[in-house]
Structure 1
Amino acid sequence: MGVDIRTAGQGDRESVVRLLDEAFQDDPVSGWVFPGEEYRRRTHHRLMAAFTDAVLADGRIDLTEDGAACALWLSVPADGHTGDGPGGDPCDAAGDVPVQVREAVDPGNERIELIARLTDGIHPSGRAHAYLWMIGVAPERQGEGLGTVLIESVLDRCDREGLPAYLEASSARSRVLYERLGFEFTGRALDLPDGPRMWPMWREPQTAVAV
């Protein structure tokens, strides 16, 4: 599948935020963090903006040239999580990041803070890896394989460099997709309080088999 991919910059911020907002409006985890369609429509984009800013600062955003899909990646070192993004140390010298995000997005919504702490608690440590934080595809373009192309472009590099990859699947459907790409469930699911289940998934670097 011929898809042109480039690295997003600051000039792409608004389009990435809009894309993520549209792509995750019906996501089970987004629905848990922002219960109620009207509330989610008014507020959800603020969290997507915080995510985008964090990855623009500390990671990389891959964007299809037509702007229909994007993937947010962070590089996690062997000695712990990186930066002030998701999975960053919640009590680092810069302050309590989950609290800061909640206050910036919607101070009264404790689930914004809680989701950060819960996902941080299940994040593997001890080995450097590529962390696929989010991948979003425009609703009208879903099912075309754009997400797979975006992920495979990074997984190919992980395989060449001998680097594992990690993500949290937010639905049973996405879990199946990631399994096809070589990810395996870590065995420890995250059940959000009165909410959906998330599946942490790990992928060891793969070596091509000669035939």
Structure 2
Amino acid sequence: MGVAIRTAGEADRESVVRLLDEAFQDDPVSGWVFPGAEDRREHHPGLMAAFTDIVLAAGRIDVTEDGSACALWLSIPAGDHDGGTEDGDSGDGDSDDDGPAQVRAAVDPDNERIELIGRLTAAVHPSGRAHEYLWMIGVAPGRQGEGLGTALIESVLDRCDREGLSAYLEASSARSRKLYERLGFEVTGPVLDLPDGPAMWPMWREPRTRTGS
């Protein structure tokens, strides 16, 4: 049975934020940005809200019909350079150089890692070619392993293949990197080692040529 997917709107904002907060509480990069458990519980939802608002305004959020998984996408035009992520599969998505600082100011001005993660990922984000950027993808903890994330990604990759578009993301764990490799992504450039923290893998996917009628 296929997974029903729709585009989220403003009415879905709170449920998307809640889903992302739950999905990324134990993510290695979220743990690096908010090393203290109490601090993470307090400020992590605000960071997810900031990301959700940016993508609702400038990109697209796909969500499964039952609300158990979502994917945040940005369409990056040729010659543009858009980056900055909070966790491997995330970013601040603000082409303005002040974007990471603005997110930090809105979420937790005392936490410099909120700004640093945006600047570090922006620095490794490929520029020049148009592509779809998977900012982040989250699946409810109780629904992981059911193929929901794969279905969300493949729905966009199918369009990329039809339109000859590349895709890009940053994997925030070795486990997610393996999933993306199965979907045709390859590590591009050097691995991003966060200061005193985990690694992130910039990954690029060329469109696949369709054969037959």
Normalised by the size of structure 1, how large is the TM-score?
Answer: 0.94
The residue number in structure 1 matching 2:137 is 135
CA distance in structure 2 between the partners assigned to 1:183 and 1:210 by the alignment: 23
CA distance in structure 1 between the partners assigned to 2:54 and 2:83 by the alignment: 8
Is the Cα contact below 8 Å between 2:162 and 2:210 reproduced in 1? no
The alignment status of 1:191 with 2:197, answered yes or no, reads no
The residue number in structure 2 matching 1:13 is 13
Is the Cα contact below 8 Å between 2:76 and 2:131 reproduced in 1? yes
Q: Secondary structure of the equivalent of 1:158?
A: helix
Q: 1:82 to 1:160 in 2, by over 3 A?
A: same
The residue number in structure 2 matching 1:66 is 66
CA distance in structure 2 between the partners assigned to 1:58 and 1:35 by the alignment: 30
CA distance in structure 2 between the partners assigned to 1:83 and 1:195 by the alignment: 19
Is the Cα contact below 8 Å between 2:83 and 2:122 reproduced in 1? no
Is the Cα contact below 8 Å between 2:81 and 2:128 reproduced in 1? no
The residue number in structure 2 matching 1:122 is 124
1:180 paired residue among 174, 179, 182: 182
> Residue type matched to 1:86 in 2?
D
Is the Cα contact below 8 Å between 1:75 and 1:82 reproduced in 2? no
Is the Cα contact below 8 Å between 1:87 and 1:123 reproduced in 2? no
The residue number in structure 2 matching 1:103 is 105
> Residue type matched to 1:52 in 2?
T
Q: Which segments of 5 or more consecutive residues in structure 2 lack a partner in the other structure?
A: 85-90
Identical positions, percent: 78
The alignment status of 1:89 with 2:91, answered yes or no, reads no
CA distance in structure 2 between the partners assigned to 1:128 and 1:134 by the alignment: 18
CA distance in structure 1 between the partners assigned to 2:102 and 2:64 by the alignment: 31
Give the superposition deviation at 1:87: 4.1
The residue number in structure 2 matching 1:78 is 78
Q: Residues 31-46 of structure 1 correspond to what in structure 2 (within 5 A)? A: 31-46=31-46
Tell me how large the CA RMSD over aligned residues is. Answer: 1.6
Between stretches 153-162 and 31-40, larger displacement belongs to: 31-40
CA distance in structure 2 between the partners assigned to 1:97 and 1:170 by the alignment: 21
2:157 paired residue among 147, 155, 158: 155
Normalised by the size of structure 2, how large is the TM-score?
Answer: 0.93
> Residue type matched to 1:116 in 2?
G
Give the superposition deviation at 1:11: 0.3
How many pairs are equivalent? 207
Regions of 4+ moved over 2 Å: 81-91, 208-211
The residue number in structure 1 matching 2:87 is none
Is the Cα contact below 8 Å between 1:90 and 1:117 reproduced in 2? no
The residue number in structure 2 matching 1:200 is 202
